Amino acid sequence: MTEPRFNPWLHRFAVLTALATLTLLGVGGLVTSHGVGMAVPDWPNTYGYNMFLFPPSKWVGGIFYEHSHRLVASGVGLLTTILAGWLWFAESRRWLRWLGVIAFFGVVLQGVLGGLRVVLFKDQIGIFHAALAQIFFTLVCALALFTSRWWTDGAGSSVPADRADGVARSAWANLRHLFLFTTILIFLQLILGATMRHQHAGLAIPDFPLAYGKLWPNMSSAAVVQYNQQRLEITAANAITPFQVGLQMVHRLTALVILVYLSAMVWRSRRREEADSRAVVKAPLSYVGGYHCAVLRKLAVFLLTLILVQASLGAWTIWSNKAADVVTAHVLIGALSLVTGVFGCLICFRRPAGNAGPVASTSQVVRPNARFSASVNL
């Protein structure tokens, strides 16, 4: 296999594509938050015009958001196509070339889904569109990571397995659990959020931390009829249902589980780090792979910070009666949380070549540029 070489311009282009995709997520979030997803009735045209020739003077009201979303999406489609082609012709890692191809088909599928949601009037397509957007953003960010110097220079090397010790294995396993479990929960949470947003029913529960003044709201049909009578919705006029009230409660509980689990794991990880530091002479992290452990611990703290911000935005979403900018920030921080979790998983599961588990030694610390290859030959 050819040794991978760092290509700075390819990496910069991948980062640009990731940033453009984050912008696209933000504009898409504004479309749903403002309730204007159907403001342009036709697709792929815009009010009968070629999309790229639609006069700016007609970008009024909700058209501004929906049309901007389409244009930014076209830009992301172009960037992704170039990135996929560049990877295909310039990248030595075969799996990475194919990831580029997957990204290309992903962005095409995403565009078609967006169009079909408009012309087929299906909220379910909107939910799938939102979920795929998160997956696509994660994929493009992963492409930026895989093309980075940090990742490329760390590939292909191995450290003997017999150097691992119990402490290191335990710490590594702790971090693996942390990232894997949290990332799965974050993804489920994002799908719950997308489902709630694409019901176009506003806030199914208007208060927080209580729910209709109780720890668990009355979800009987009679109670929900009364909730609907009391709602004074300005834009999201669809009536709420017991399912939607339940969905928001599950969303709240999942957020609590993520927050508590992540806090506990980060706290445990930091205590272990302190214990390791005391046990070993001056070594900040006392095992081979310690550099990666340190990165992961920092990443875990960063993820916890994101989740705390995300929880605050969730509460603010309710207190602001779903203000569009707050909800959109909630969507974006959710996407960044998922990417952070996935990055953690990628680093965790990128183990030294030829080993079944993490490699560690209480006497060695691996330098940042130490070479690794993952269990899936990443």
Partner 1 sequence: MKLNQSLALVAGFTAALQFATAGNITGKVTLKGTAPAEKDITGVTDAACSAGHTTPMKTRFFVVGSGGELADTVVILKGVPNAKSTGDTAAPLLIDQKGCEYVPYVGAVQTGQKILVKNSDQTMHNIHPSPANTAGGNKEENKAQFAGAADLTFTFPATENFLKFKCDVHPWMFSYITVVDHPYFAVTGKDGAFTIKDVPAGKYKIVALHRKAAPAGIEQDIEVTADGAKTDFALEAK
Looking at the DSSP bridge assignments, the partners of residue 46 are: 49
How near is the Cβ of 123 to partner 1 at its closest, in Å?
A: 10
Minimal distance, residue 318 CB to partner 1, in Å: 17
Whole-angstrom Cα distance, residue 118 to residue 65?
A: 14
Which CB, 41 or 354, lies closer to partner 1?
41
Structure tokens at 43: 């697709």
DSSP 52: G
Distance separating alpha carbons of residues 65 and 59, to the nearest angstrom: 8
Rounded-to-integer distance, Cα 72 and Cα 360, Å: 46
Q: Which is nearer to partner 1, 49 or 88 (CB)?
A: 49
Tell me the DSSP string of 282-313.
Answer: S-SS-STTHHHHHHHHHHHHHHHHHHHHHHHH
Return all residues near 54 (Cβ < 8 A) that are at least 6 apart: 46, 47, 67
Q: Which is nearer to partner 1, 39 or 346 (CB)?
A: 39
Q: How far is the CB of 37 from partner 1 (least distance, A)?
A: 7
Comparison of 35 and 341: residue with beta carbon closer to partner 1: 35
Min CB(75)–partner 1 separation in Å = 23
The nearest distance, CB 42 to partner 1, in angstroms, is 7
Q: How far is the CB of 40 from partner 1 (least distance, A)?
A: 8
Q: Cα–Cα distance between 134 and 22 in angstroms, integer? A: 9
Q: Which residues bind partner 1 (CB under 8 A)?
A: 34-42, 47-48, 58, 60-64, 66, 118, 121, 225-226, 228-230, 232, 234-235, 237, 324
User: Among residues 62 and 290, whose Cβ is nearest to partner 1?
Assistant: 62
CA 372 centroid distance within chain: 25
Question: In angstroms, what is the minimal distance from the CB of 232 to partner 1?
Answer: 6
- 3-state DSSP assignment of residue 195: helix
CB nearer to partner 1: pick between 225 and 275: 225
Structure letter (DSSP) for residue 4: P
Residues 236, 201: contact at Cβ < 8 Å? yes
Return the number of the residue (39 or 306) whose C-beta is nearest partner 1: 39
